[in-house]
């Protein structure tokens, strides 16, 4: 089959001045081989010494970059047109030239011997890892396995940002922390563990909440940012800061049994906003604290993020750039979706409108006090008020809108269970508006019950009030004997 | 010294003052980031500096990248003029107007590369370069 290859201006001197050449080929690779076979002068400009297409040579099949097809193996159809399109790039020297890579010590040759014998890593790659600086945003479910493997692999500097302390409920998945660390700062706990694993490692800690005011300053100087955040506002913040600074973002997220991973904010690649231009409505996607998460799930996704991070440091382009990997642990299936940079993306598009960091809480529609603020103060009660009502034997109708498995763990005596999702269809089971009893609604932390109270008010149950802080507040302040989850 | 290949398009040895002025303006407006654009020639003389967005994701203080779609736009601009795409310009903020190893690694043959130094926001030296046919180095041209 004969196909046309369009030649850009700088390469026309090698094709006798022609701007298009006809070749016979079945695949893109064959077409390029036929072209360079006929016009030998092209070869050194299209291919590097190891026979790979140079990174700044873009080959398009009609309007598609072959990197998003099957690369050189892409099969040609009749009338397909191949174009060679330059990306023109360059710039002033950066400080970390290859010559400035650190040497390995004798101990390090031994420690990293299994890397050194991999041609894809080798001595040069291991030195790149040693020079590498990776920031893990969050030392939790994703950050734990990621930071451990990055430290073990010989990444020279790991930054950690977190402001939490270790809780017992973290230990089911946050394997960087131990039982003895409960109550300690996550940063101190993680740093201790990482340095014990690899004493050559330098750990930089940032004991703060990541905000629009500090993100650029913290991120600057890192080679890769590993996004281990657990909420949308911070995820958009991490994405935008990475795009603005030109730092690749090794992204991962988890929920219940499902996870996803990709690499964002690389040259020419998509960003998180190309995938999700808008955040979901607040409250639609529950957090792991509300919805639960299989403990090993962040282990899988976090190590995928660590894998991609190492490859970025090694200079590989064979990663998840332009692909979203979806993992379903319950059915044990991996799937992937193709992603492209959106030229209309407000951050990484051709005419970006977001040129500095914005207010991400507002962008995601979460007021700082979260969902609880959707209930007016006069429609809220404290756990102390509930206790007083129960003790005085005033009639109280206490509605629990959690899930049955949560109800099995702990409950406030006398409560009635109707999960939030079933509430609209079970309104007839509720005491009528004329009843005498106080009507109090609760869940685990107060978020779901706030939604329930809103819904009840819309249906005429205007006496319904929300229990502030949910059953966790009840356990903390009234009945510490109940199991906490 | 120029590549000696006889079928190479004539190296644009001269550049119109308006094009030089546009490069200076673009470079100082974009400081501290790198600016970039295309150079369009008619009759062997660069007559227009055509601004293009710097789409690098590797940090625009030290890198520039002209995307494939913007490259196509530059070819189209040259065709419509009518003229030829003679090359590209970019700035080196707070760095001399000399090609970097990175410039060399990514260079295309048969194009004129114009580099402008920007010192603390003020446009400085402007130099012109062409890639040697064996890709080993740049040769400096005249402006």
What is the pLDDT, as a whole number, of residue A472? 93
Q: Give contacts of B90 with chain A, Cβ < 8 Å.
A: 90-91
Q: Are B37 and B68 in contact (CB under 8 A)?
A: no
- Asked, as a colleague might, if the bond just before B82 is cis with ω within 30 of 0, I would say yes
Task: Give the start-end residues of each E strand in A248-363.
Answer: 249-255, 258-264, 323-328, 333-338
What is the pLDDT, as a whole number, of residue A55? 82
Q: What is the DSSP string of B14-44?
A: EE-HHHHHHHHHHHHHHTTSPPEEEEEEETT
Q: Which of A136, A274, A288, A410 is catalytic?
A: A288
How far is A357 from A366, CA to CA, in rounded Å?
17
- pLDDT band for position A18 (cuts 50, 70, 90): very high
Contact B57 A350 (CB under 8 A): no
3-class secondary-structure state, position A288 = helix
Contact B63 A90 (CB under 8 A): yes
Which of A13, A91, A267 lies nearest to residue B100, judging by beta carbons? Answer: A91
Q: Are A168 and A177 in contact (CB under 8 A)?
A: no
What count of CB pairs under 8 Å joins A to B? Answer: 132
Q: Are A311 and B20 in contact (CB under 8 A)?
A: no
How far is B40 from B18, CA to CA, in rounded Å?
12
Neighbours of A469 (CB within 10 A): 19
- Asked, as a colleague might, if the bond just before A432 is cis with ω within 30 of 0, I would say no
Q: Which helix (H) or strand (E) covers residue A29, if one does? A: helix A28-38
How far is A341 from A336, CA to CA, in rounded Å?
16
Selection from A8-22, A432-446, B53-67, B88-102 with the highest mean pLDDT: A8-22
Chain A interface mutation, best of B55, B73, B91, highest count of A Cβ atoms under 10 Å: B55
Q: Is the per-residue pLDDT at B3 higher than 70?
A: no
Q: What is the mean pLDDT of residues A310-316?
A: 90
What is the pLDDT, as a whole number, of residue B59? 66
Examine the residue annotation and report whether A443 is marked as an active-site residue of this protein.
yes
Q: What is the DSSP string of A466-478?
A: EETTHHHHHHHHT
CA–CA–CA angle A259, A261, A262 (5° rounding): 160
Exposed e or buried b per residue across A291-322, where buried means at least 16 C-beta atoms within 10 angstroms of its C-beta: ebbbeebbbbbbbbbbbbbbbbbbeeeebbbb
Which of B64, B95, B99 lies nearest to residue A89, judging by beta carbons? Answer: B64
**Among B115, B111, B19, B67, residue whose Cα is nearest residue A91:** B115
Q: What ranges in A254-324 are assigned the alpha helix state H?
A: 272-275, 288-291, 297-314
A284: phi then psi, degrees, rounded to nearest 5:
-65, -45
Q: Are B98 and B122 in contact (CB under 8 A)?
A: no
Contact B56 A267 (CB under 8 A): yes
What is the pLDDT, as a whole number, of residue A141? 96
Task: Give the start-end residues of each E strand in B9-121.
Answer: 14-15, 36-42, 45-52, 64-66, 84-93, 112-119
CA A318 to chain centre: 19
| A348 contacts: CB under 8 Å, gap ≥ 6 | A243, A265, A270, A271, A273, A274, A341, A342, B57
Name the pairing type of β-strands A202-206 and A157-161: parallel
User: Which pTM value belongs to this model?
Assistant: 0.59
Return the minimum-mean-pLDDT range out of A421-425, A446-450, A467-471, B4-8.
Answer: B4-8
Q: Is the per-residue pLDDT at A372 higher than 70?
A: no
Return the minimum-mean-pLDDT range out of A303-307, A319-323, B94-98, B126-130.
Answer: B94-98
Q: What is the mean pLDDT of residues A13-29?
A: 94
Contact A85 B57 (CB under 8 A): no
Chain B interface mutation, best of A54, A90, A98, A100, highest count of B Cβ atoms under 10 Å: A90
Q: Give contacts of A60 with chain B, Cβ < 8 Å.
A: 68
Exposed e or buried b per residue across B57-85, where buried means at least 16 C-beta atoms within 10 angstroms of its C-beta: bbbbbbbbbbbbbbbbebbebbeeeebbb
pLDDT tens digit string along A150-197? 999 999 999 999 999 999 999 999 999 999 999 999 999 999 999 999
Q: Is the per-residue pLDDT at A367 higher than 70?
A: no
Terminal-residue alpha carbon distance, chain A: 66
pLDDT tens digit string along A115-125? 999 988 999 89
Burial of A114: CB neighbours in 10 Å, binned 0-12, 13-18, 19+: exposed
What residue of B is the nearest CA neighbor of A63? Answer: B69
- pLDDT band for position B5 (cuts 50, 70, 90): very low
Contact A265 B95 (CB under 8 A): no
Q: Are B104 and A54 in contact (CB under 8 A)?
A: no
Burial of B114: CB neighbours in 10 Å, binned 0-12, 13-18, 19+: buried
Chain A interface mutation, best of B33, B60, B88, B108, highest count of A Cβ atoms under 10 Å: B108
Q: Is the per-residue pLDDT at B45 higher than 60?
A: yes
Which of B8, B106, B111 lies nearest to residue A89, judging by beta carbons? Answer: B106
Q: Are A158 and A132 in contact (CB under 8 A)?
A: no
How far is A204 from B136, CA to CA, in rounded Å?
40
Q: Which helix (H) or strand (E) covers residue A150, if one does? A: helix A143-153
A348 touches chain B (CB under 8 A): yes
CA distances (Å), A54 to each of A49, A114, A323, B66, B94, in order?
9, 29, 21, 15, 29
How far is A126 from A103, CA to CA, in rounded Å?
9
Q: Which helix (H) or strand (E) covers residue A65, if one does? A: strand A64-65
Q: What torsion, rounded to 10 degrees, do the Cα atoms A224, A230, A231, A233 define?
A: -20
3-class secondary-structure state, position A82 = strand
How far is B88 from B39, CA to CA, in rounded Å?
5
How far is A166 from A139, CA to CA, in rounded Å?
10
Q: What is the mean pLDDT of residues A270-298?
A: 85
């Amino acid at each position: 089959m004969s196909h046309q290859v369009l030649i850009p201006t700088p390469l026309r001197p090698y094709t006798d001045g022609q701007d298009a050449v006809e070749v016979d080929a079945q695949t893109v690779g064959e077409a390029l081989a036929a072209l360079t076979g006929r016009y030998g002068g092209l070869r050194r400009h299209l291919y590097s010494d190891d026979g790979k297409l140079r990174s700044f040579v873009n080959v398009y099949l009609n309007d598609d970059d072959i990197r998003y097809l099957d690369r050189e193996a892409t099969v040609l159809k009749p009338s397909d047109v191949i174009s060679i399109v330059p990306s023109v790039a360059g710039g002033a020297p950066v400080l970390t030239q290859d010559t400035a890579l650190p040497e390995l010590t004798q101990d390090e040759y031994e420690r990293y011997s299994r890397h050194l014998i991999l041609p894809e890593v080798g001595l040069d790659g291991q030195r790149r890892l040693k020079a590498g600086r990776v920031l893990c945003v969050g030392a939790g479910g994703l950050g734990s396995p990621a930071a451990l493997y990055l430290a073990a692999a010989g990444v020279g500097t790991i930054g950690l940002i977190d402001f939490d302390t270790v809780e017992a409920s973290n230990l089911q998945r946050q394997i960087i922390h131990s039982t003895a660390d409960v109550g300690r700062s996550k940063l101190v706990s993680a740093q201790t563990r990482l340095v014990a694993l690899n004493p050559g490692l330098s750990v930089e800690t940032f004991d703060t909440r990541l905000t629009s005011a500090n993100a650029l300053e913290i991120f600057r100087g890192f080679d890769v940012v590993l996004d281990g955040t657990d909420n949308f506002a911070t995820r958009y913040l991490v994405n935008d800061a990475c795009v603005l600074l030109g730092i690749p973002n090794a992204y991962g997220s988890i929920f219940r049994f499902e996870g996803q991973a990709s690499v964002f904010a690389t040259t020419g690649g998509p960003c998180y906003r190309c995938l999700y231009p808008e955040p979901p409505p607040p409250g639609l996607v529950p957090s792991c604290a509300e919805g639960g998460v299989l403990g090993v799930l962040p282990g899988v996704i976090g190590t995928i993020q660590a894998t991609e991070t190492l490859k970025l440091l090694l200079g590989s382009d064979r990663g998840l750039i332009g692909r979203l990997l979806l993992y379903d642990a319950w059915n044990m299936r991996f799937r992937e979706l193709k992603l492209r940079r959106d030229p209309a993306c407000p951050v990484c598009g051709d005419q970006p409108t977001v040129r500095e960091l914005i207010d991400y809480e507002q962008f995601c529609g979460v007021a700082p006090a979260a969902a609880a603020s959707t209930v007016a103060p006069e429609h809220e009660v404290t756990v102390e008020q509930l206790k007083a009502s129960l003790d005085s034997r005033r009639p109280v109708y206490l509605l629990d809108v959690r899930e049955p498995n949560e109800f099995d763990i702990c409950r406030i005596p006398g409560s009635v269970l109707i999960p939030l999702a079933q509430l609209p269809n079970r309104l007839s089971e509720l005491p009528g508006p004329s009843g005498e009893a106080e009507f109090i609604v609760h869940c685990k932390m107060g978020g779901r019950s706030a939604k329930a109270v809103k819904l009840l008010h819309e249906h005429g149950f205007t006496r319904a009030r929300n229990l502030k802080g949910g059953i966790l507040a009840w356990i903390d302040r009234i009945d510490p004997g109940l199991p906490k989850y | 010294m120029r590549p000696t290949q006889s079928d190479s398009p004539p190296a644009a040895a001269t550049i119109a003052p308006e094009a030089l002025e546009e490069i200076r303006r673009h470079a100082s407006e974009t400081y501290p980031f790198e600016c970039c654009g295309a150079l369009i020639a008619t009759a062997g003389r660069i007559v227009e500096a055509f601004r293009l967005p710097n789409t690098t994701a590797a940090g625009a203080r030290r890198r520039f990248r002209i995307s494939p779609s913007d490259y196509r736009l530059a070819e189209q601009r040259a065709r419509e003029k009518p003229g030829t795409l003679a090359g590209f310009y970019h700035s080196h903020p707070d760095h001399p107007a000399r090609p970097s190893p990175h410039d060399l690694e990514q260079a295309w043959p048969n194009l004129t590369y114009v580099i402008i130094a920007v010192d603390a926001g003020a446009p400085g030296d402007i130099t012109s370069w062409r890639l040697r046919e064996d890709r080993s180095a740049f040769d400096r041209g005249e402006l």
